[in-house]
Amino acid sequence: MGGPAFRRPFKPSFPLLVWTLKTPRLDLELLKNGRYTLADMTVEEIERWSPLKVWFYALTNRNPKSNQVVVALANLSPADRFLDIGCGPGAALEEALKTGANVAGVDPSPAMVAKAKKRAAGADVKVGSAEDLPFPDGHFTVVINVLSFHHWADRETGLKEILRVLAPGGLLHVVEGKLRDEKDGHGLNPSDAQALADRLLELGYSDATVDEIKPGRRHRYFVVSGEAPGTLDRLDDQKSNRHQ
């Protein structure tokens, strides 16, 4: 599962292709098809990314609209504690810092974490994964995961771990590309999205919804949101804005 980030396809230059041939962990098919995205990578491949690969990915994915829209959807305030799981080079972290919220991120790639720390200097960025979050119980009011749910080695454990770190009434937003009915691939089809929402309820989330966003002209995204049990009064406006 997964989906393309919002950006224009690029045409690789000859020097880039030479560099790629020297780094076998990068899939040449992605370059040939004009697609260079984390969506087609495994966790192991991402962990092994060199600083040069991370620099190139960050260059071609500087400000994806998917991250901007999801941070806006979260409706953050300075009172929030925000976590981006699979934060990559820090685009969403940088956007979240503008709201005054307390911002943190995790990524399995040490090189990505180093890049994110430079880009979002005020964020607490650590090497980690959804399955083993290096944060205390009940800490975050908002957790997002943008186009990397398919990378999780154990999705069940990851969803439980997020519930552990969510504050009472805290919100989770899982964002994936929208696929056609019953189609498999990098994203969620309608049945998959609803199944994920149903599973959140079974795991102990008090509420779960499936929404759709279309920030650009081409791509649509499913947003599967879950709410931790309990209430925080200041989250009431956030929850209502989520459905507007």
CATH 3.40.50.150 holds for 65-241: yes
Residue 99: both structure tokens together: 């709201």
| pLDDT number for residue 55 | 46
Q: Is 212 helix (H, G, I), strand (E, B) or coil?
A: strand
Sort 203 into a burial class: Cβ within 10 Å, 0-12 / 13-18 / 19+: middle
One digit per residue, pLDDT tens: the chain, 244 residues? Answer: 444 333 333 344 434 433 333 343 434 343 334 443 444 445 555 545 555 554 445 545 555 677 888 899 999 999 999 999 999 889 999 999 999 999 999 998 888 899 999 999 999 999 999 999 999 999 999 999 998 897 788 999 999 999 999 999 999 999 998 988 776 667 899 999 999 999 999 999 999 999 999 876 777 899 999 999 998 755 444 444 444 4
| pLDDT number for residue 38 | 44
Side-chain-facing half-sphere of 157: CA atoms under 13 Å = 9
| pLDDT number for residue 25 | 40
Please give the helix or strand (H or E) that residue 167 lies within, else none. strand 166-177
Contacts made by residues 15-20, CB under 8 angstroms, sequence distance 24+: 16/56, 19/52
- CB neighbourhood size of 57 (10 A): 23
DSSP state of 88: T
- CB neighbourhood size of 28 (10 A): 12
Q: Considering the entire predicted model, what is its pTM?
A: 0.74
